[in-house]
Amino acid sequence: MDYDDITAAIRALCHGETDAVALMATVVCEIHNRHPYSNWTGFYRVVGPELLKIGPYQGGHGCLVIPFSRGVCGAAARSGKVLNVPDVDAFPDHIACSSTTRSELVVPVWNGAGALLGVLDLDSNTPAAFTRADEDWIVPLLAEVFRDAA
Q: How many structural domains compose the chain? A: 1
CATH code, domain carrying 63? 3.30.450.40
Q: Is the pLDDT of residue 78 over 90?
A: yes
Q: Which domain holds residue 7?
A: 3-145
In this structure, the strands spanning 65-67 and 83-85 are unpaired
Tens digit of each residue's pLDDT (9 = 90 or more) over 6-50: 999 999 999 999 999 999 999 999 999 999 999 999 999 999 999
Instruction: Flag whether 31 is in a domain.
Output: yes
Residue type, 75: A
Write the Ramachandran bin of 28: left for phi over 0, alpha for psi from -120 to 50, otherwise beta.
alpha
Residue 21 lies in a domain: yes
- Tell me, yes or no, whether 26 lies in a domain: yes
Q: Is residue 150 part of a domain?
A: no
Where on the phi/psi map is residue 118: left (φ > 0), alpha (ψ -120 to 50), or beta?
A: left
- Is residue 96, in this structure, part of any structural domain at all? yes
User: What pLDDT digit, counting tens, does each position of 95-142 carry?
Assistant: 878 788 999 999 999 999 999 999 999 999 999 999 999 999 999 999
* pTM, 2 dp: 0.96
DSSP at 88: G
* Averaged pLDDT score across all residues of the chain: 96
